[in-house]
Amino acid sequence: MCGIVGYIGEQPAYDVLIKGLHRLEYRGYDSAGVALLSPDGELNIYKTRGKVDDLERFCESKDVSGNVGIAHTRWATHGEPNDVNAHPHFSCSGRLALVHNGTIENYNVLKTALELQGCTFRSETDTEVLVQLIEYVKETNDCSLVDAVREALKEVIGAYAIAVIDVNDPDMIIGARKSSPLVIGIGDNETFLASDATPIIEFTNKVVYLNDDEIAIIKKGQPLQIISTDNRPAEIDIKTLRMSVSQLEKGGYPHFMLKEIFEQPRTIHDCIRGRVGSKGATVTLSGVIENKDRFLNAHRIIIVACGTSWHAGLIGKRLIQEIARIPVEVEYASEFRYSNPVLTDRDIVIAISQSGETADTLAAIQMARKCGAFVYGICNVVGSSIARATDSGTYIHVGPEIGVASTKAFTGQVTVLSMLALAIGQLKGSVKPGVAEEITSSLRRLPDLIKQALKLNESIEQLSGIYTYVHNFLYLGRGFNYPSALEGALKLKEISYIHAEGYPAAEMKHGPIALIDHELPTVVIAPNDELHEKIISNIQQVKARGGSVIAVVTKGDTTIADIADHILEIPEVAEPLSPVIVSIPLQLLAYHIAIKKGCNVDMPRNLAKSVTVE
Ligand code: M6R
């Protein structure tokens, strides 16, 4: 949550920072701001409520000169989204400016102490405490900015990624992190700093990921220096990124979400590449091979995740239990971390996260590792905090996901989980005859099957017109597709603001059936599978009570076509992989309804792409 970006070099900093903020806007879009050190020694700070476009309009007639600056796009935690609470925040003297991503837990104590020393606070944010504290330490100790940041951070409890500039030290930016991400980009005579690599990649593919409790000293024309908060020099490990700028653009689509939905044939191809061969029934996952004994000896697997990744985890549970015959539990990371779980070194914790930065998932991992469990990550963002905090893992390799609603990451996660289940099952010899062949051949066909499902786009767009203004939706599914129902409902509610509930179809009669009337549409996920007959009865129960039914069915299903109000036909696919194909019409339905309602699908209200606060 919140995106920060910094630049020092020879280009006009404002242009680099604004471009960077646009790339980071998916992390928060309540307000935005920029602080620039001008050539004539001024610190110019401009900030406003709203999006980065609003900031640009605000800056139109302002002095935005200078080659050094920091900027921020906010997802509000402390204090409402307004101009004053927007970052950058500045010190009492007006000489220091700071941007922050994270939450300062002891800000009230620090604020009171600073107020007693005569500091005046302007905003309601936790962040302002940081900049005031750094200035207070700097002035009372008469020390350098680096030392002041280092000493001040010792007093701070919480999570932070910060960037600080000082009008008295105009050729320097200080960055620091603890539990919130910070990446430094190394260019020719220029250095970048950002919450993730997306603002940097256009200028350089050489990056350094700052670790917790490290401080980066970025000086114009000088090599990067990193020290620890206890003042020891830290290693500078330069990585080369393989991301491209085109992956960060809409590529002709009106929204990132639609682009990401349509990218899925390619992203799934990338996800299975090198893991499932063009022939044979084996799956190769290096993370499983390298940790063979861990998987062979595992007593139990616990999947921890949040949101959409948690839904993928529910599908993973069925896959792993059925194919690898290991008991699996699925926990919300936010609950798991505080549940005092009984964990041993025979437990494997699988953490699933698109961003690799979700605070609760990261904390769950740290706790699990402390208890001796082996932690395996399934992430999308290469080099992210979760990817680095886990013992081993498998990337989903679906490329940057910018739309706040997760689409291609979900299908990538389910695809990786199916490969993981098979890889473990093959290791253990628990795979039933024919299953490996069925799964691997379906995995190879997935990109093509997704292409076929995408052909539903036009008919779903028309269908969405009928349901644009309903207030509630019910989503039902069974077996592998009960989590698909949860995911379909989440997609709809987060981007269209229509209340939607996902339910196991057979559970409907234990309560939700009371809601059914002609105003409540029900989406029933009913591909051909073991429970097909049963779900037909569930559809009839809805119809008998005057509800309308949109059914996702396997092509050629005439039985459901005769009962449902609308059918969305998907191609035949092996049951364990059906959630991947089913999710295509559900994503498109949510997208088109939200668009018809005039919602901003890429930046839905109150949400942010990576949730780096509790
Ligand atoms: O980056 P993560 O996968 O850890 O994110 C978890 C959730 O915040 C995320 O899936 C969220 O629910 C999405 N907005 C769903 O579309």
Tell me the CA–centroid distance for residue 336 and ligand 1, in Å.
Answer: 17
Q: State how far the Cα of 228 lies from the Cα of 236, in Å rounded to an integer.
A: 12
Tell me the CA–centroid distance for residue 340 and ligand 1, in Å.
Answer: 24
Q: Is 307 in the pocket of ligand 1 (CB under 6 A)?
A: yes
- 236: Cα within 13 Å, side-chain hemisphere: 15
Tell me the CA–centroid distance for residue 253 and ligand 1, in Å.
Answer: 22
Superfamily of domain 455-614: Glucose-6-phosphate isomerase like protein; domain 1 (3.40.50.10490)
Tell me the CA–centroid distance for residue 454 and ligand 1, in Å.
Answer: 23
Measured from the Cα of 355, ligand 1's closest atom is 1
Q: Which CATH entry fits the domain spanning 250-454: 3.40.50.300, 3.10.20.580, 3.40.50.10490, 3.60.21.10?
A: 3.40.50.10490
Q: Are 582 and 528 in contact (CB under 8 A)?
A: no
Residue nearest to atom 4 of ligand 1 (CA): 353
Question: Residue 438 is encoded by which pair of tokens?
Answer: 């069925």
Q: Is 413 in the pocket of ligand 1 (CB under 6 A)?
A: no
Query: What is the full DSSP assignment across 507-571?
Result: GGGGTGGGG-STT--EEEEE-SSTTHHHHHHHHHHHHTTT--EEEEEETT-HHHHHHSSEEEEE-
Q: Is 548 in the pocket of ligand 1 (CB under 6 A)?
A: no
Count the Cβ atoms, other than its own, within 10 Å of residue 213.
Answer: 15
Q: Is 361 in the pocket of ligand 1 (CB under 6 A)?
A: yes
Look at residue 99 in the predicted model and tell me its pLDDT: 97
Boundaries of every domain in the chain: 3-247, 250-454, 455-614
Q: Is 384 in the pocket of ligand 1 (CB under 6 A)?
A: no
Q: Are 539 and 564 in contact (CB under 8 A)?
A: yes
Q: Which of 330, 354, 380, 496 to mutate to test the pocket of ligand 1 (most atoms within 8 A of CB)?
A: 354
Tell me the CA–centroid distance for residue 274 and ligand 1, in Å.
Answer: 27
Q: Under DSSP, is residue 160 helix (H, G, I), strand (E, B) or coil?
A: strand
Q: State how far the Cα of 47 lies from the Cα of 592, in Å rounded to an integer.
A: 34
Q: State how far the Cα of 52 lies from the Cα of 50, in Å rounded to an integer.
A: 7
Count the Cβ atoms, other than its own, within 10 Å of residue 512.
Answer: 15
Tokens 């509800």 locate to 547
Output helix, strand, coil percentages for the chain, rounded to the nearest 5.
40, 20, 35
8: Cβ contacts below 8 Å, ≥ 6 apart: 67, 68, 171, 172, 173, 190, 191, 218, 219, 220
Q: Which residues of the chain have pLDDT under 70?
A: none
Our answer to whether residue 59 is catalytic in this structure is no
Q: How far is CA 328 from CA 317, 368, 389, in A?
A: 5, 15, 22
Domains 3-247 and 250-454 share a fold: no
Our answer to whether residue 2 is catalytic in this structure is yes
CA angle 476, 480, 485 (to 5 degrees): 25
Q: Are 208 and 183 in contact (CB under 8 A)?
A: yes
Look at residue 77 in the predicted model and tell me its pLDDT: 81
Q: Which of 1, 303, 308 to mutate to test the pocket of ligand 1 (most atoms within 8 A of CB)?
A: 308
Question: Residue 532 is encoded by which pair of tokens?
Answer: 């097909």
Q: Is 402 in the pocket of ligand 1 (CB under 6 A)?
A: no
Question: Residue 525 is encoded by which pair of tokens?
Answer: 């996920």
- Give all strands of the β-sheet with 300-305 in edge-to-edge order: 328-332, 300-305, 347-353, 374-379, 392-395
433 cis-preceded (ω within 30 degrees of 0): no
Tell me the CA–centroid distance for residue 307 and ligand 1, in Å.
Answer: 5
Q: Is 508 in the pocket of ligand 1 (CB under 6 A)?
A: no
530: Cβ contacts below 8 Å, ≥ 6 apart: 479, 575
Look at residue 76 in the predicted model and tell me its pLDDT: 82
Q: Which CATH entry fits the domain spanning 3-247: 3.60.20.10, 3.40.50.1370, 1.20.1250.20, 3.40.50.720?
A: 3.60.20.10
Question: Residue 248 is encoded by which pair of tokens?
Answer: 């960060």
Which one from 2, 119, 379, 599 is the annotated catalytic residue? 2
Look at residue 249 in the predicted model and tell me its pLDDT: 85
Question: Residue 188 is encoded by which pair of tokens?
Answer: 């020719």
Residue nearest to atom 7 of ligand 1 (CA): 307
